A and B are shown apart, each in its own frame.
Chain A
Amino acid sequence: MKEILGKISDIDRRDFLAYSAKAFLGVGLMPAAARNMAFAGDSPLRRPTAKNVIYLYMAGGMSHLDTFDLKQGTQYQGATQAIKTNVPGTRVSGYLPRLAKQMDKMAVVNSMFSNQGAHEEGRYFMHSSYTKRGTIKHPGIGSWLVKFDGNRNPNLPGVVHIGSPNPGGGNGFLEQRYAPLVIGNPEAGLQNSKRRSNISEGQFQDVVSLTNAFDAEFHSRYKHKKVEAYSEMYDDALKLMRSRDLAAFEIDKEPERLREAYGENPFGQGCLLARRLVEHDVRFVEVTLGGWDTHTNNFERVEENANVLDQAMSMLLRDLEKRGMLEETMVVLATEFGRTPEINENDGRDHSPTAFTCVLAGGGAAGGQVYGKTDESGKNVAEDRIDVPDFNATIAYALGLPTERTIFSPTGRPFRVADKGRPVLDLLA
């Protein structure tokens, strides 16, 4: 055992170099002899299995009490009813009848905890594991993933955000090339990605090479990261324009029946687009569904929203499974906080970050379980609390990201993928 542990640290010491090698050269160059043969086979530890993430973000604060953590028979429940799922002994909201039939795929975490009770701050914390501050911007998991493990598709961006003009997680202090591509309307696909029809490829090429010629001297004189990032952005845009993978953005290529099955609304179509993108090896796709800030008229509004979520997410899980993609694609359902057990005078629920629900499915998540418990009202976590950084560390670990590694920002400040979060291995199969 000592021998094995010795070797762990052995590998650990080297992988910093390996990261650099992979990040800068596109490949690791460690000699075979340095690797440990016994460790890989004998280790009882779980290996990460997820490759991609589809991150469904419920903006505004999804009411845990009316979706996954019901308090039947108490004064806090209101109009919401519980229904059985396909996993004996577990129940979800009657507003989620289709997801109830996919419970075997989902690890429902009812013991999420955050200390951020305002939307913007909560959203920032959920995406980056750090609290928002003025002096630095922290990267989201998608950008970390591409930073460490690269783009799989050489022609497409590694991170795409759909349906929100204000995505919660960006590239932060990481280089511009790890920034998400933002798509407002999934049905419109990627705008302005085609050459104008009255310009021939030859003419276009002339313009590009002329630009490059003008820029060349400037670039050689100012070898600055930000200058390079700028020209990289142009290169990537050109690569994308000429790529056959551009078809990934065109959801009108999908059969009409399937488009209807996802739901004829931006979120449903966004989930369909997310599946298409992941099929084309985009690593991290976030789809946002807003409207969860139910200070007024909570029950009707949650029912409406939940219906959109239920249809799209259940279809997404089925579609991924049918295509053999669920094993490598982790579907995450997340939100910034939950809502109060007390129902206010407007029949609404207010912000409550001290207990809420998030869900993991696919990509190695151990489905069919409800993890953690809240107290009788659902205001506080009673058992197995998972802090936001722990939840993100779990996703990061499933993707094989080094959650214990300290990375320095350009200004020399130390950061980690999920701050001090530790992965919750019980959520992974």
Chain B
Amino acid sequence: MVGYRLRLLTGLGLFCSPLALADPIDFETQIFPIFENKCFNCHSDEKQKGDLRLDSPAWIQRGSENGDVLIPGDPDESTVYYLTTFDPDDPDYMPSKGKGLTVAEQELLRKWIEEGASYGDDAMMGMGGMMDGGMGGAAPLPRSSKYTEDVPLPPASYEVSDAVANLIAGMEKDGIRFDTVNHDAEYLEITYTYSEGGSDVFDYSRLESVAGSVVKLNFGRSPVTDADLEGVSLLANVTYVDLKRTKVTDAGVAYLEGLEKLEYLNLVGTEVTDESLEALEGLKGLKKVYVWGTFVTRQAAESFEKKVPGVEVVR
């Protein structure tokens, strides 16, 4: 307790020893207890008013339903601080129930944010470990039992870039659909299934501005023809091509030879033959080729699996 007081006072700058001044405010021993005593009734594992939890650095950084609650270095922009300084009669005053923060606690919080709102090295290590699914290195100090190891999940991202948004406006009228892959805005899936076809629907140069982001091409059940696949290798990062139930033949599959990163190819229900597999022998990254309902023979499938290690031909 004596140590706590001392640190509190140094935090306020009332002690002038340069050694004491250099000692920054410690999150776990000085800030966390304030949150625990004054905020956890509404902002921890039990309740999350306003979608806010304050019971670990990861949750504090995640913010509330209104966004960030803490801007390191800027207490006056940090709701986690300034709402506690309002008049207790103000409707926005925090905590809305129970005892408010003392002036000393407010000051400590302000100072901690001014100093950059550091959580200390251990906390950072702990968080890194938690993100891997375990604790990376044990914390030297016994932690409050309220300190949570739950971590916020990565948000599903349905957003797309400007470049894509502009493209979509132009191409959706042709029935071409865009989507992010696994909710990761970096990767795009383009679906031609609901397009009626037409002169420039399969003109891949239209995709030039996002070509590097396109990883999945969905042609399944679309009117795509062999000729429409010419030029597809412009989309060099494509790993997934679905051609199931299309009119594509060996001649069309041959154009895929240029997709060096291809991992997944679905040819189910097309009229391709063993020739298609031969054309793909150079694609060493292939993992799955689906040829059920085609003319591909078992011998060709087996010999292909020998030539391209790691691939499985499903038939």
**A400 and B154 contact, CB distance less than 8 A:** no
Binary flags per residue of B240-273, CB closer than 8 Å to A gives 1, else 0: 0010100000000000000000001010100000
Q: Are B183 and A28 in contact (CB under 8 A)?
A: no
Contact across chains for A400 and B156 when beta carbons are under 8 A apart = yes
**Chain B residues near A43 (CB-CB < 8 A):** 131, 154
A148 near B158 with CB under 8 A, answer yes
Q: Do A404 and B153 contact each other (CB < 8 Å), given the known contacts A5-B61, A323-B244?
A: yes
Complex-state Cα separation, A411 to B258, whole angstroms: 55
Whether A32 and B155, one on each chain, are in contact in the complex, defined by CB atoms closer than 8 angstroms, is: no
Chain A residue numbers with a CB within 8 Å of B314 are: 321-322, 324
Query: Would B131 and A15 count as touching, CB distance under 8 A?
Result: no
In contact, A32 and B153 (Cβ under 8 angstroms): no
Interface residue? A136 (CB, 8 A): no
* Interface set, chain B 19-69, CB cutoff 8 A to A: 51, 57-58, 61-63, 65, 67-68
Would you give the shortest CB distance from B47 to chain A, in whole angstroms? 10
Q: Which residues of A contact B264 (CB under 8 A)?
A: 324, 327
Number of A-B pairs, beta carbon distance below 8 Å: 145
Given contacts A48-B156, A397-B153, contact A31 B62 (CB under 8 A): no
Contact A35 B159 (CB under 8 A): yes
Q: Which of A40, A44, A321, A327 contacts B131 (CB 8 A)?
A: A44
Interface-side segment among B83-91, B161-169, B198-206: B161-169
Is B186 part of the contact surface with A, judged by Cβ < 8 Å?
yes
Please, which residues of chain A bring their CB within 8 A of the CB of B128? 1
Choose, from A75-83, A149-157, A187-195, A206-214, the stretch at the interface.
A149-157
B183 near A9 with CB under 8 A, answer no
A403 at the interface (CB under 8 A from B): yes
Residue in A37, A281, A400, A405 whose beta carbon sits within 8 Å of that of B186 in the complex: A37
Complex contact A45–B182 (CB within 8 A): no
**Residue B295 lies at the interface, judged by CB distance under 8 Å to chain A:** no
In whole angstroms, how far apart are the Cα atoms of A154 and B172 in the complex? 12
**B124 touching A1 by the CB < 8 A rule?**
yes
CB of B284 within 8 Å of the partner chain: no
B127 within 8 A of A: yes
Q: Mark A140-173, 1 if CB is under 8 A from B, else 0.
A: 0000000011001111000000000000000000
Residue B190, interface by CB 8 Å:
no
Instruction: Flag whether A88 is at the interface (Cβ < 8 A).
Output: no
Select which of B65, B183, B290 is within 8 A of A47 by beta carbon. B183
Q: Which of B152-200 contact A (CB under 8 A)?
A: 152-163, 165, 168, 172, 177-179, 182-187, 191, 193-194
**From B61, B68, B157, B268, residue with most partner A Cβ within 10 Å:** B157
Q: Which of B58, B162, B177, B266 contacts A32 (CB 8 A)?
A: B162
Does B290 contact A322, Cβ atoms closer than 8 Å? yes
Contact: B62 with A9, CB < 8 Å?
yes
Chain A contacts for B191, CB-based, 8 A = 152
Q: For the complex, give the distance between the alpha carbons of A48 and B157 in Å.
A: 11
Q: Which residues of A contact B133 (CB under 8 A)?
A: 44, 425
CB contact under 8 A between A35 and B290, given known A153-B194, A324-B244, A400-B183: no
A153 to B63, CA, bound (A): 36
Residue pair B124, A40 in contact (C-beta under 8 Å): no
A47-B244 contact given A11-B155, A148-B158, A401-B156, CB 8 Å threshold: no
How many A residues touch B, CB cutoff 8 Å? Answer: 60
Q: Please indicate the chain B residues that have their CB under 8 angstroms from the CB of A216 in the complex.
A: none
Alpha-carbon distance A400/B61, docked complex (angstroms):
21
Chain B residues in 8 Å Cβ range of A323: 244, 266, 268, 290, 292
Q: Chain A contacts of B92 at CB under 8 A?
A: none
| Cβ–Cβ contact A9 & B193, under 8 A | no
Question: How far, in whole Å, are A65 and B132 apart by their CA atoms in the complex?
Answer: 35
Find chain A residues with CB under 8 A from B315 CB: 322
A39 vs B157: C-alpha distance in the bound complex, in angstroms? 12
Residues of B within 8 A of A39 (CB): 154
Q: Is A174 an interface residue (CB 8 A)?
A: no
Find chain A residues with CB under 8 A from B51 CB.
Answer: 404-406
Q: Are B165 and A8 in contact (CB under 8 A)?
A: no
**Contact A14 B159, beta carbon cutoff 8 Å:** yes
Asked if B155 and A15 make an inter-chain contact with CB atoms under 8 angstroms apart, the answer reads yes
Q: B67 to A400, Cβ gap below 8 A?
A: no
Q: How far is the CB of B91 from chain A (nearest CB, A)?
A: 17
B45–chain A nearest beta-carbon distance, Å: 9
Is the CB–CB distance between A400 and B182 below 8 Å? yes
A397 to B182, CA, bound (A): 11
Min C-beta distance of A173 to chain B, whole Å: 19
Docked-complex contact B160 and A28, CB < 8 angstroms: yes
A153 to B185, CA, bound (A): 21
Question: Does A415 touch B at the CB level, under 8 Å?
Answer: no
Does A6 belong to the interface (CB within 8 Å)? yes
On B, residues with C-beta under 8 Å from A are 51, 57-58, 61-63, 65, 67-68, 119, 124, 127-128, 131-133, 150, 152-163, 165, 168, 172, 177-179, 182-187, 191, 193-194, 221, 242, 244, 264, 266, 268, 288, 290, 292, 314-315
Q: Which 8 A-B pairs have the closest CB atoms?
A: A32-B161, A30-B159, A324-B290, A13-B67, A400-B183, A28-B159, A18-B159, A400-B156
Chain A residues close to B by CB (< 8 Å)? 1-2, 5-6, 8-16, 18-19, 21-22, 26-32, 34-35, 37, 39-41, 43-45, 47-49, 148-149, 152-155, 280-281, 321-324, 327, 397, 400-406, 422-423, 425
23 sample A-B contacts, Cβ–Cβ < 8 Å, listed by A number: A2-B61, A5-B127, A8-B155, A11-B155, A11-B157, A12-B63, A13-B67, A15-B156, A22-B158, A31-B162, A40-B184, A41-B186, A44-B133, A45-B154, A47-B182, A47-B183, A281-B193, A322-B290, A322-B314, A324-B268, A324-B290, A400-B182, A403-B153
